[in-house]
Structure formats: structure tokens, C-alpha cells
A = this chain, B = another copy of it.
């Protein structure tokens, strides 16, 4: 029993049956009633697979993220699901972890389900080696690939990005202007987004004629206590620093805890800026100045772009959104 049986018995095209299934308005009431009666008579129940058998669309988008429990990605998934739902699309969620092999496996799985598009949420999906991204380019021949804060060049691939480089340039610049001279940069990953953030930090130093010193740039796991302990270690090693710019609020919370543990006053002895303006920024005393990376706008724009693609519109392959700096109490400005 499948859609072909329904179409034959009702004497209408498969496309018409599909339109009925998808609630399209472009079907007469009479035809709709006929098709529904035939389905009832045949005991046909449409399901995701049946609707995927080459008849338009299953109205389902695959969302891939490395870890849906990360606060940034959790918000992304929330906004993406809500946005897709408002356009009548279901979301199939895949939490992939970080390994390339697993990502590819889930990617293939989503393709085999005939989803209408795949959204890659977060900057962890584009690998530094171009060859490692071939599977994405290949899939884009069949369905649109949407990147939320990631960037990959290719046909039928659409990126919506936060202007991370400008955001850290601006933030680091304000810290320097307010008196910081030894500004540490802490980061979690070397993704496209991560590279932009680091470059913004370097741009700001350059703009003030300050040297870029490798001993002031440190990678750290996305973990509050790991960041605190890294700073305590640098402090004990005798590295002087009066500011911390972090690529994630988690690390900035660690910097606040470091200051408390080391008896440093915030912001007089140490200025701190986080990234993502998550709820973590409000947990600490003093509360964190943080960069609002506009995750809701990124997701809304991603969905709007995708709907533009579905409707055959001429949509941009790359959209960049400016971040905001939310000033609280860990900075002097």
C-alpha cells in the first residue's frame, strides 16, 4: 500500500496526492475529499518514508549539532525548531559529537531519509582540511546545506554568520582604550568562527601598536574550572596580565573565579569580557561584560534564507550579522 496505489485508485497524479498530504491550498475541495476518501478506503497512512518516495517533500529538515546540551547550541536548536515549525516543517535532530566519521555517518543518515535540507548548527562542522568537507559539497548537489555560524564555499551552501572578528576587535579595543596593556586571549576551538575571534583580538592589538605575543594566547577546554586553573597557573608562572578576553562565557566565568582565588579586584586589577552573553554572564559577581553573538537573529536569518531557497528566490550565499557588546561590571568602560 503506497502513494502510487492511492493516486491510481483516485485517478489523480502523485503530485496531487502529495499536495493533499502536505495541506497545500492548490487542490480543489472536491479532489481533496476524493483523495482522503480513497486513502481511508485503502487504509493508507502516510508516513515520513512514504512521503519521501520521490514526491516532493517530507517537510522535514535535519538539524545537526555537535552537542545540544551546550547552552549556545541549545538556544540555536530552540530557535531553529521554532522557526521551522512556523513554516510547517518538522525538525529531525542529530547530536553528532565531534568526530568527523560520526558527523559523516549522521549526514548520510539524514540524506537517506530524504530530508528537505540539512542545517549544520555551530562552527564545528567545517574541517580545516578541504578534502574533509567533500561530503558536504557532494550532498549540496541534492539538497540545500545551511550553516549557522560556519562557512564553507560551494553551490547550494548558505552561511549565516556572526561577525566574530569585528566583535572581538571592538571588545579588545575597548579594553585597551580603558587601560589594559597585557590582554590575555582564551579560546576553546580553532573553527572558522574561532579563527575570526582570534584575528579580531590581534587586529585590536595591532591597531594600538601593541605586539601580538604567543604567551598571551591560550587554548582551554570549555570548562569553568579548567579556565580558572589555567589562569592560576599563568599567574604562578609570573606572567603579568590585566585583562582577559574569552571566546566563550564559560572561560570568562573561570576568569572571574581566578580573580577571586588570586585576590584580584575586578575590574581594577583585571578586566574580563566573555562571549555569547549566556546566562552564565549573570551568575557571577561582578556580572560579566559579554559579546552578544545574536544567536536568535542567526537562526531566524538561516530559516528565512532556507525558505527563500525553497521558493526559488535569489538568496545570498553568505549573510553576516553584527554582534553587540553588553556592558556589565567586569570592564572599566
Contacts and interface: CB of A to CB of B under 8 A. Distances in A.
Given A283-B253, A285-B285, A58 B49 contact: yes
B74 A69 contact: yes
Given A260-B285, A283-B253, A69 B75 contact: yes
Contacts of A54: none
B95 A82 contact: yes
A38 interface: no
Give the number of copies in the complex.
2
A78 B69 CA distance: 6
A198 B114 CA distance: 47
Contacts of A279: 224, 250, 280
A94 B92 CA distance: 10
B68 A78 contact: yes
A91 B90 contact: no
Interface stretch (A8-16, A40-48, A161-169): A40-48
Interface string A27-66: 0000000000000000101111100000000101001000
A81 B68 contact: yes
A interface residue count range (under 10 / 10 to 19 / 20 to 34 / 35 or more)? 35 or more
Interface centre among A45, A68, A85, A91 (most CB of B within 10 A): A68
A257 B285 CA distance: 7
Contacts of A229: none
Contacts of A78: 67-69, 95
12 contacts: A68-B77, A68-B78, A71-B74, A74-B74, A92-B93, A224-B279, A224-B282, A253-B283, A256-B285, A280-B280, A280-B283, A285-B285
Given A47-B113, A90-B92, A284-B284, 18 more contacts: A45-B47, A45-B114, A46-B114, A48-B58, A48-B113, A68-B68, A68-B77, A68-B78, A68-B81, A69-B71, A71-B71, A81-B94, A90-B113, A92-B92, A92-B93, A224-B282, A253-B282, A280-B280
